[in-house]
């Protein structure tokens, strides 16, 4: 059995969505401030965008994140990721299969997969062991208005079952705001993924620092 084990610090995973994060300039500025203040991963997720817009934004984000060594993950646009040499690709259950993404990206890029329940989580574990994916997203765990087609909220006991004896890195997503982080981290996640808790906030730096402080406290003050 192999694992890709591409290293990724999932602690504070910012998902940029143009509906909340604004146009290109505002999005790039948000990403930069978040990276400066401790965000550990940035994902671009813009299902409504045309390819040319995708490429321009992804290239701009890559440039702004590089000095902070914060990886840029592209949501469900393999061609864009290949064109601008992104750090990785994240796919959902209805997107290009993770196995195809891995085959086309090669072994040294990050591949993430969304999961919404125990069965999908167990499938993801097998994919991790086979070297296909590097981490999973688990969610939504709270109702969210950010993703209009979000899957149903996962029941608390199902989340617990997913995390029991887990072998793969997992980041939690969906409706996570300041104050909710400690509870989720205590369940055993490696980090939290957010859109609206950072994007569109009046104080991006303060919002990022606040979430990070909760994460570090939950990880034992590291
Ligand atoms: N996937 C599951 S929920 C979600 C995504 C992309 C949106 C999360 O947004 P927010 O604003 O952090 O609730």
Tokens read off for 43: 């994902």
> Is residue 118 a contact partner of residue 138, using CB atoms and an 8 Å limit?
no
Q: Is 63 annotated as a binding residue?
A: no
Whether 109 is in the pocket of ligand 1, judged by its Cβ within 6 Å, is no
DSSP letter for 202, please: S
CB distance 176 to ligand 1 below 6 Å: yes
Helix (H, G, I), strand (E, B) or coil at 170: strand
pLDDT above 70 coverage of the chain, percent: 97
Binding residue per annotation — 11? no
> Residues near 113 by Cβ (< 8 Å), separated by ≥ 6?
90, 91, 92, 93, 98, 124, 127, 133, 135, 136, 137
Residue 5 above 90 pLDDT? no
pLDDT at 3 over 90: no
> Does the pLDDT of residue 158 top 50, yes or no?
yes
Residues ≥6 apart with Cβ < 8 Å to 176: 141, 142, 184, 192, 193, 194, 197
Interface confidence (ipTM) of the complex: 0.98
- Mean pLDDT for 106-113 is 98
> What is the value of pTM for the model shown?
0.96
1: confidence class by pLDDT, cuts 50, 70, 90? very low
DSSP character at residue 49: -
Which domains occur in the chain, in start order? 12-221 (3.20.20.70)
**pLDDT digits 0-9 by tens, 62-89:** 999 999 999 999 999 999 999 999 999 9
* Spatial distance between the Cα atoms of 180 and 81, rounded to a whole number of angstroms: 32
State the closest ligand 1 atom to the C-alpha of 17, by its place in the atom list counted from 1: 6
89/181 Cα distance (integer angstroms): 25
At 172-193, the pLDDT tens digits run: 999 999 999 999 999 999 999 9
Using the atom order of ligand 1, give the atom closest to the CA of residue 194.
12
pLDDT recorded at residue 222? 56
């Amino acid at each position: 059995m192999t694992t890709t084990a591409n290293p990724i610090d999932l602690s504070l995973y910012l998902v940029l969505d143009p509906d909340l994060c604004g146009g290109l300039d505002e999005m790039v500025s948000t990403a930069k401030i978040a990276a400066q203040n401790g965000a550990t991963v940035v994902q671009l997720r813009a299902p409504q965008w045309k390819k040319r817009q995708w490429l321009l934004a992804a290239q701009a984000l890559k440039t702004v994140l590089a000095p902070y060594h914060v990886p840029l993950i592209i949501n469900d646009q393999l061609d864009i990721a290949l064109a601008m040499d992104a750090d990785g690709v994240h796919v959902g259950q209805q997107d290009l299969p993770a196995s195809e993404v891995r085959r086309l990206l090669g072994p040294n890029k990050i591949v993430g997969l969304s999961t919404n329940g125990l069965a999908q989580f167990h499938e993801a574990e097998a994919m991790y062991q086979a070297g296909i994916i590097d981490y999973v997203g688990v969610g939504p765990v709270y109702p969210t208005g950010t993703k209009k087609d979000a899957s149903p909220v996962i029941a608390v006991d199902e989340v617990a079952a997913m995390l029991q004896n887990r072998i793969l890195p997992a980041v939690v997503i969906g409706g996570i705001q300041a104050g909710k982080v400690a509870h989720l981290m205590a369940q055993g996640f490696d980090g939290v993924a957010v859109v609206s808790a950072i994007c569109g906030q009046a104080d991006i730096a303060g919002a990022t620092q606040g979430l990070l402080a909760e994460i570090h406290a939950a990880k034992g003050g590291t």
